Structure 1
């Protein structure tokens, strides 16, 4: 798979609009172990052969909370779903399942995904539109979930919400656009998440990390890795971070982002490294809008026709949790455009 301390000058900030592979993992994770005795709920069968294990890099690979990395629905039945009713049914069932999305599924509001699920798109046309996926509820945790190779568009609220203490989540090789609120929010004490090789476009608010300025229960949680994502013309929140440390933002491609790239607030600790910023006036903020400043270490980034990044303080090194290999930032635009998004996995 294709798979600082001193503050610098601070550019003027635009107001935030109102709400409306080559990496080296710490462990090799079996992502989709498919059973040959599959349950099939539509005429379209999922791939018959078990796929080789694919590694996840970043915080989703860390062993913690009694969970050894992120395995999703490995070991459970493989099911093809073609309707909203089927998706809601199987995503909410206890135990592991590998759910294959076939074609376009229109849903409304949010479907709750509970623990030990892999939700994978078949081919390059798998789509969830009109609504989104919420990982877990206050009574049914959404831990150990994998979401890959799906186009999310037109959500009434968030496209994906990782919430309610969900941990060990891998969101990889998806396409996000044209939602009503956030494209991908991670909040409410969730932890150990990797967001990799996704494309984000035709939207304003891309990635929120942290519920609000007053939700201090997030302190000590929200450890997230964002790598090899393409932020193509999205305005802001790539991500916007509150309280979390460390947050690792590496080898992402930012292009034509009107308001800002990354914002660290409320004493969050964010490492921004090896990214490529193209035509981004405010690539990195320390503090934003009404939020208090966070901390940022930035290194080895390229700022092509972009502004001066802000940096302040020190940040816990993500390498204390997991190993990774950093791509040359000069290669990031080509690598990310070739590898990010749907239809790249051979499913």
Structure 2
């Protein structure tokens, strides 16, 4: 039975204070709308790559019949399906839980995790061949059920916005796939937990558990603006996950992936917290047919706190990262912030980094493949640091080339990097515009 659509509602009036806060959190001209309804704000001119060409307006032109307020995951997915590509606004109120029934609801008949562990124990199965057999087939069938239940396909010309300070999506994966003109704002995303990770005994020297599902994916889409959201592992940090076969039972993938020919994306004033593989731009070195000349992404005024790596990791794209604040906690594992990948052209300017004792500035950059990079006027613990110079001094065998070969022009607001920790700390993340 199809879930009934929520009753269309006229746009709710935003308070004057909410609108003023939203406008203060963005540069003049970067959030344009009638002052009574923050849900109809659009990305302003010159605000990153998503402002290129036709710009990003989402569902700002939606009529009253295509404005919905939703309070459940079922209402949310039904609203996404309604009206095709006609402009629409979906207002999320409260917490939408895509996995409220728990993992058992997705299990295929006959799947038994204890039997799975027994069948593929390296002492029994070995480490030289991928797993196969009845329990692996049942795990895959269970995973397919979860995938269908938690993925929400976002159509073109859509604005999704949280109402108030506590709007959230837990257990769901937002799929912005092969569409144009999408806005996502003021939501907290708790990264979905993969109920059925696959054991791969051939992954590395000792094998690994591999999981699926990102909190949000921009796949082959254009003109996407993600603003004032919080992305986090929430109640389920990796430290709470069990281990089997001596490896962490990894149930998280990424927080935000921008892949498969996606283009003209701006991510601004978001908070990314307490996660491992955080933000990937371009997912394969062999994807030149779809990715070359695309993956143009701007990241500005975002907070990256307690993240391990990929903030971002880049392949192919012309990626502009400026005025972001990176906070490494003293008790966390840390790998790197900027991953320099195949044919990437990353520009990293006027960012701020707060590093604890024992974490060197040379680790901020990570060379995966030879590619040029621009890293200028960045500050670490309040002092200007040449990130390329310190990286190359510490890791001479992995020396990076200076000069990304292009200069960003789509920047509506640029702040002194010494002011970034206070600005971003106070204004980034969900609950800061309404």
Normalization by structure 1: what TM-score? 0.80
Aligned residue in 2 for 1:22 = 27
Deviations 1:228-285 (A, max 9, x none): 11111110000000011x2100000001171101111102001100000111534543
1:301 is matched with which residue: 356, 362, 378?
378
CA spacing shift, 1:323–1:125, aligned 2, 3 Å: closer
Could you tell me which of 159, 166, 172 is aligned with 2:215? Answer: 159
The answer on 1:194 being equivalent to 2:283 is no
Distance, in Å, in 1 between the alignment partners of 2:433 and 2:366 is 36
Map of 1:75 onto structure 2: 61
CA distance in 2, matches of 1:168, 1:52: 15
**1:330 partnered with 2:418:** yes
Which secondary structure state, in structure 2, belongs to the residue aligned with residue 194 of structure 1?
strand
Tell me the C-alpha RMSD between the 2 structures.
2.4
Aligned to 1:114: 155
Match of 2:169 among 116, 123, 128: 128
Matches within 5 A, 1:205-216: 205-216=277-288
Paired with 2:157 and 2:29, the residues of 1 have a C-alpha distance of 24
Q: Is the 8 A contact 2:228 2:432 kept in 1?
A: yes
| Residue pair 1:72, 1:144 contacting (<8 A) in 2 also | yes
Higher radius of gyration, 1 or 2:
2
Residue 173 of structure 1 is matched in structure 2 by 228
Q: Deviations over 1:320-345 (max 9, x none)?
A: 4x243321110110000011011111
Give the aligned partner of residue 105 of structure 1: 96
For residues 128 and 49 of structure 1, do their structure 2 counterparts lie closer, same or farther at Cα, with a shift above 3 Å needed? closer
Q: Counterpart in 1 of 2:4?
A: none
- Once the two structures are TM-superposed, the CA of residue 205 in structure 1 deviates from its matched residue by 1.1
Once the two structures are superposed, residues 197-248 of structure 1 have per-residue CA deviations (whole angstroms, 9 ceiling, x without a partner) of 011112111100002121112110000000011111110000000011x210
Q: Give the aligned partner of residue 301 of structure 2.
A: 228
The two structures have a TM-score, normalised by structure 2, of: 0.64
Name stretches of at least 5 consecutive residues in structure 1 with no aligned partner: 4-20, 35-46
| Structure with the bigger percentage of helix | 2
Alignment correspondent of 1:60? 50
Q: How does 1:136-155 map to 2 (within 5 A)?
A: 136=177, 141-155=178-192
Name the residue aligned to 2:248: none
Given that 2:94 and 2:166 are in contact with CA atoms closer than 8 Å, whether structure 1 keeps it comes out as yes
- Distance of 2:169 and 2:263 partners within structure 1: 24
**Secondary structure in 1 aligned to 2:180?**
coil
**1:180 and 1:302, CA in 2 relative to 1: closer, same or farther beyond 3 A?**
same
Q: Give the direction of change, closer, same or farther, for the CA distance of 1:161–1:51 in structure 2 (3 Å limit).
A: closer
